[in-house]
Structure 1
């Protein structure tokens, strides 16, 4: 303590505070009086620790549960669950491709046609461009190669010099069937078009209502096509060709009486040559669902399905509708009521893809 807080004790003087009967001279002189000891400090009061209440326990448990939930979510987000788009691209090998090779038909007006100037046109071509764009390829980086029907499962096409070329996917009016998936190891995307089987004849042919009308007659169809079984069951003499253009040549030369395959294919010839051919609806119940063949590349199938799902679900994505209007709907007047294809994109199931918080994978 400082001097100002000290308690000063006065020096005793003779006679001060002494009884009257005691002589002052008898008292000893004390020139150095001592200070009394400081008072004992008061004990510091310690408050008791707060008691642990049930509310505090519950709050702590809630906080722990929240931390665990966040941790599990982060693990699932970055480790577990379905693959992300980035992971699918790595698995499919897309990021290693400088161009994308796509097998298509080249002799089908309205669906897929190779022009003399080197360009391509048709519904399948536009669908292929749509998928390639979502995979990150410019139109100039897409390579189309013509292929015959029997090569669609093999994923082998032919370049302009006649050399065999492997392709990454096939968009070639290829109908989805369990037999093809099991027997030929074909991996199809979800369907991108619904059509049906029909018949093409030369102009002024008598009305056709069923394939049974060609019993004992010559009918041409595509090799390995789903349209082969119906004329065979009807008793027709079926001629198989690898290209629809070969069937058309046989019909023009009257080597066959009719050509039968998918209506979306035959409608293009009727629209291109309206005075040469007639297109007939057979009223068959079977629906032909066209799909993209990706071989054994399961990750690529998921990416293709993702494009088809976006096109189907996103009202602002009208690429499918534009492709249909430009290539198939435009053929309706010339085909005079014969159904060509369903005018709406087939429903697509949402693919199993993980959407990262910073992405917008699904519409």
Structure 2
């Protein structure tokens, strides 16, 4: 009996030590449930996400089925699931490029709604991070800028300067605007990449400037009509999720991306890339359309018990 009492006492001391250690270590860090409360998601029945609807491979609406498909859509479903929403609780609403900062998307009936998240090829930039109402998550895809022309034209183009004096279309508020303007390109803008592509097909423009991940989807649809050109730009375009003025929601999205990156049993990102990005790469020629690895995500500190932890490889900091 004395031995049993000593064993029980030892177990109690170990448990108490673990509890004290965890309490001290995570004091001040919110739990996942507290973050959900702070993000105003507890009890919420529907998650509204602003997405593109005309970007093949990225986010494309299929009228015959009423579904959205593409890489951004799979990432959106992954994040929604980690926030506690089933697929049938996710509403996708088309959002224009210039409305991503305001998170204003228009439903099919013409009414506008402020969406909970924007997952719409939204590149993280210092200028955008200063805009009111914009709060980016960690990046979920790395791509770069490129130029698309009609097939067989500008075969020797190696830089934006090779299009000097030519009419080139890009999307409104795009990060491509400054690069093209400095090269002396005659830039015109439309509110969607598809409208630029339609204009290129019809001969209204000589080229389209946008992100490789976006334009590669159009090339894949019509490989005999369009070409991509590697124009030697080295800076990455890093896509992030705009969570609005909601720090708790930003933390939860980052937590989802962090677990996606480090959980070996979670292959959602890899499967989405293999399904949508890899096939587009095969028709993109020498232009790399996106990096085939999920970008680094800083560790999100949350309060949890040891038995709740996943077997993750921790990464506290990302390289600058």
TM-score, normalised with respect to structure 2: 0.88
Contact 2:95 2:105 in 1 (8 A): yes
Aligned counterparts of 1:133 and 1:288: Cα–Cα separation in 2 = 26
Q: Does 1:173 pair with 2:121? A: yes
1:34-113 to structure 2, matched below 5 A, reads: 73=21, 76=24, 80-113=27-60
Counterpart selection for 2:256 from 303, 307, 312: 307
Q: Does 1:232 pair with 2:181? A: yes
Contact 1:262 1:288 in 2 (8 A): yes
Secondary structure of the 1:110 match is coil
User: What is the root-mean-square deviation of aligned Cα atoms in Å?
Assistant: 2.0
Q: What is the Cα deviation at residue 348 of structure 1?
A: 1.1
Counterpart of 1:200? 148
Counterpart of 1:131? 79
Aligned counterparts of 1:192 and 1:301: Cα–Cα separation in 2 = 13
Q: Does 1:148 pair with 2:74? A: no
Q: Does 1:277 pair with 2:218? A: no
Secondary structure of the 1:81 match is coil
* Structure 2 unaligned residues grouped into runs of 5+: 1-13, 313-320
Aligned counterparts of 1:349 and 1:77: Cα–Cα separation in 2 = 18
Aligned counterparts of 1:148 and 1:111: Cα–Cα separation in 2 = 14
Contact 2:263 2:310 in 1 (8 A): no
**1:253-287 deviation digits (Å, cap 9, x = unpaired):** 21111000100000000001111111111110111
**1:120-152 deviation digits (Å, cap 9, x = unpaired):** 111000000000011111111110000000000
Q: What is the Cα deviation at residue 85 of structure 1?
A: 0.4
Contact 1:209 1:280 in 2 (8 A): yes
The number of aligned residues is 298
Aligned counterparts of 2:66 and 2:140: Cα–Cα separation in 1 = 26
Secondary structure of the 1:220 match is strand
Q: What is the Cα deviation at residue 70 of structure 1?
A: 7.8
Aligned counterparts of 1:352 and 1:100: Cα–Cα separation in 2 = 24
TM-score, normalised with respect to structure 1: 0.78
Counterpart of 1:347? 296
**1:130-177 deviation digits (Å, cap 9, x = unpaired):** 000111111111100000000000001011112111100000000001
Contact 2:170 2:176 in 1 (8 A): yes
Secondary structure of the 2:297 match is coil
Counterpart selection for 1:243 from 152, 170, 192: 192
Aligned counterparts of 2:185 and 2:19: Cα–Cα separation in 1 = 67
Contact 1:305 1:351 in 2 (8 A): yes
Contact 1:188 1:294 in 2 (8 A): yes
Higher relative contact order (CA 8 A, sep 6+): 2
Contact 2:102 2:133 in 1 (8 A): no
Counterpart of 1:29? none
